[in-house]
Structure 1
Amino acid sequence: MKLTVVAATGGIGRHLVEQAVAAGHEVTAVARRPRGLPEGVHPVAVDLAAPAMAALGAAVRGADAVLSGLGPRDPRADVGITSRGTRAIVAAMQAEHVRRIIVVSAAPVGPVPVPGEPAPPRHDPGDGFFMRHLGARFARAMFGRHYADLALTEQILRESGLEWTVSRPPKLTDKPLTGHYRVALNRNIRGGFSVPRADVAHHMLRMLDEPETVKQVVGIAS
Structure 2
Amino acid sequence: MKLTVFAASGGIGRHLLRQAVAAGHDVTAVVRSPASLAGEPEGVRVIPADLTNPDPAVLADAVDKADAVLSGLGPRSMADSGVASRGTREIVAAMRTRGVRRIVVVSAAPISTVAAPGRPKPPPDPGEGPLMRYLLSPITKTVLRKHYVDLAAMEELLRDSGDLDWTVVRPPRLTDKPLTGVYRTAYGRSVRGGMIVPRADVAHCMLRTLEQPETIRQAVAVAT
Instruction: Give the partner amino acid of 2:137.
Output: A
Report the alpha carbon displacement of residue 111 of structure 1 after superposing the two structures with TM: 1.0
Q: Distance in 2 between matches of 1:198 and 1:17?
A: 11
**Which residue in 2 is equivalent to 1:129?**
130
* Secondary structure of the structure 2 residue equivalent to 1:138: helix
Report the alpha carbon displacement of residue 77 of structure 1 after superposing the two structures with TM: 3.1
Report the alpha carbon displacement of residue 59 of structure 1 after superposing the two structures with TM: 0.3
Answering whether residue 48 of structure 2 is matched by residue 45 of structure 1, we say yes
**Cα deviations across residues 76-118 of structure 1 (Å, max 9, x unaligned)?**
3320000000000000001110010000000011111111221
Q: Distance in 1 between matches of 2:108 and 2:118?
A: 20
**Which residue in 1 is equivalent to 2:101?**
99
Report the alpha carbon displacement of residue 120 of structure 1 after superposing the two structures with TM: 1.1
**Cα deviations across residues 163-196 of structure 1 (Å, max 9, x unaligned)?**
0000000001100000000001111011100000
**Which residue in 1 is equivalent to 2:150?**
149
Q: Distance in 2 between matches of 1:198 and 1:56?
A: 26
Contact 2:118 2:156 in 1 (8 A): no
**Cα deviations across residues 25-64 of structure 1 (Å, max 9, x unaligned)?**
0000001012323100000001111111111100000000
Q: C-alpha root-mean-square deviation of aligned residues, in Å? A: 0.8
Answering whether residue 201 of structure 2 is matched by residue 194 of structure 1, we say no
**Which residue in 2 is equivalent to 1:185?**
187
Contact 2:108 2:169 in 1 (8 A): yes
After superposition, where does 1:33-182 map in structure 2 within 5 Å?
33-34=33-34, 35-36=37-38, 37-74=40-77, 76-121=78-123, 123-160=124-161, 161-182=163-184
Aligned-pair identity in percent equals 61
Q: Distance in 1 between matches of 2:168 and 2:2?
A: 20
* Secondary structure of the structure 2 residue equivalent to 1:190: coil
* Secondary structure of the structure 1 residue equivalent to 2:79: coil
Gaps of 5+ in 2: none
Q: Which runs of 4 or more aligned residues in structure 1 lie more than 4 Å from their structure 2 counterparts after TM superposition? A: none
* Secondary structure of the structure 2 residue equivalent to 1:73: coil
* Secondary structure of the structure 2 residue equivalent to 1:102: strand
* Secondary structure of the structure 1 residue equivalent to 2:144: helix
Q: Distance in 1 between matches of 2:89 and 2:19?
A: 26
**Which residue in 2 is equivalent to 1:7?**
7
Q: Distance in 2 between matches of 1:172 and 1:52?
A: 31
Q: Distance in 1 between matches of 2:66 and 2:87?
A: 18
Match of 1:215 among 211, 214, 217: 217
- Please report the TM-score for the alignment, with normalisation by the length of structure 1: 0.97
**Which residue in 2 is equivalent to 1:20?**
20
Instruction: Give the partner amino acid of 1:44.
Output: I
Q: Distance in 2 between matches of 1:78 and 1:10?
A: 13
Task: Count residues with an aligned counterpart.
Answer: 220
